[in-house]
């Protein structure tokens, strides 16, 4: 429990954790069942739904799955790391092996390293050397990725390209962990894509590039400006007071500072804990508050929100 919570606040959080909802984790179980059942139901009924409607249903379902995978790696709905890993291993979103996501995301939760290029695996910033040494084209791509529209359009391709370059290098270096991870990922992904090809009207290329990549692009909106460089680690993480459709897709991770301070708190309790002491959270964030993703669009749809160059690393 972070040091700044007083006794009253700690007791309120502990009371939430003792409720039947938190003990049973039924909302997370219900979501898991719903996503698995929904994925199979949409594909098996895709001939009746049609390619367009099947696509429109699967994209948000995959975004929700990515949010659920995040919830699973933080210890929900069971206390067993192995059970949660099995529950979250399904490669519905295809591109990222779940074990790779677990390792990189847990490193991201070292708050003292947030946003530091080369240290925080989820940093969107570059060192001065990399920024100054980049070509004009590379700089333009990074600047475009700092706009919300650019983030949506090129964020996923840039991330997948970086993933491919890094992981291919590990494979060329005969990294045994990388080989085991990608072979295991392939062993579950190929049968899944075979199921798509055999039991739905969706071609595999359609699922890969017109469903999975757009889902990743929407998920990229959440991380558009989740963190900023700041000398105080607690003031690097945003509080985004988003509307319910986004909160639902992202499982309340828009209240990102609350999640970073209390990573074991379940997704359904994040808004309640934030509202209990909203002003205190805002003060802790140093005023790093956004009034929903619409604010990003109005202010930074076509204008970079900050520089890709990290200001002090």
In a domain, 286, yes or no: no
In tens, the pLDDT along 173-201 reads: 999 999 999 999 999 999 999 999 999 99
Report whether pLDDT(69) > 80: yes
pLDDT higher at 275 or 313: 275
In a domain, 303, yes or no: no
Quote the pLDDT of residue 313: 66
In a domain, 75, yes or no: yes
In a domain, 308, yes or no: no
Range of the domain at 141: 7-224
In a domain, 192, yes or no: yes
Averaged pLDDT, 28-38: 98
In a domain, 49, yes or no: yes
Averaged pLDDT, 12-33: 92
In a domain, 51, yes or no: yes
Number of structural domains found in the chain: 1
Quote the pLDDT of residue 299: 95
Percent of the chain with pLDDT over 70: 98
In a domain, 279, yes or no: no
* pLDDT tier, 4 (very low <50, low <70, confident <90, very high otherwise): low
Please give the mean pLDDT across all residues of the chain.
Answer: 94
User: Of 306, 311, 253, nearest to 127 (Cα)?
Assistant: 311
Q: What sections of the chain are H helices per DSSP? A: 7-17, 20-24, 26-44, 46-49, 51-73, 81-88, 98-108, 128-133, 136-144, 148-172, 176-199, 204-206, 213-222, 244-249, 256-261, 270-276, 278-284, 293-300
Prediction pTM value = 0.93
């Amino acid at each position: 429990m972070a040091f700044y919570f007083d006794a009253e606040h700690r007791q309120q959080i502990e009371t939430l954790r003792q409720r039947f909802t938190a003990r049973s984790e039924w909302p997370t179980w219900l979501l898991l069942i719903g996503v698995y059942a929904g994925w199979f139901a949409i594909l098996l009924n895709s001939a009746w739904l049609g390619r367009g409607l099947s696509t429109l249903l699967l994209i948000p379902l995959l975004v929700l799955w990515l949010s659920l995978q995040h919830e699973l790696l933080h210890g929900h709905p069971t206390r067993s790391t192995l059970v949660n890993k099995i529950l979250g291993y399904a490669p519905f979103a295809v591109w990222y092996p779940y074990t790779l996501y677990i390792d990189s995301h847990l490193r991201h939760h070292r708050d003292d390293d947030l946003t530091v290029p080369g240290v925080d695996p989820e940093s969107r910033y570059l060192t001065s050397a990399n920024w100054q040494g980049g070509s004009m084209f590379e700089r333009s791509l990074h600047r475009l990725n700092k706009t919300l529209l650019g983030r949506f359009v090129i964020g996923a391709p840039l991330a997948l390209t970086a993933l491919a370059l890094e992981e291919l290098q590990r494979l060329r270096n005969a990294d045994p962990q990388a080989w085991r991870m990608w072979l295991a990922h392939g062993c579950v992904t190929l049968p899944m894509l075979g199921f798509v090809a055999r039991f739905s009207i969706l071609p595999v290329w359609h699922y890969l590039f017109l469903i999975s990549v757009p889902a990743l692009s929407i998920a990229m909106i959440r991380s558009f400006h989740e963190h900023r460089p700041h000398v105080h680690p607690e003031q690097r993480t945003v509080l985004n007071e988003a509307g319910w459709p986004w909160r639902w897709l992202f499982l309340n991770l828009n209240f990102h500072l609350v999640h970073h301070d209390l990573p074991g708190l379940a997704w359904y309790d994040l808004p309640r804990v934030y509202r209990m002491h909203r002003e205190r959270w805002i003060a802790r964030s140093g005023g790093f508050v956004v009034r929903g993703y619409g604010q990003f669009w109005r202010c930074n749809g076509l204008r970079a929100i900050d520089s890709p160059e990290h200001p002090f690393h």
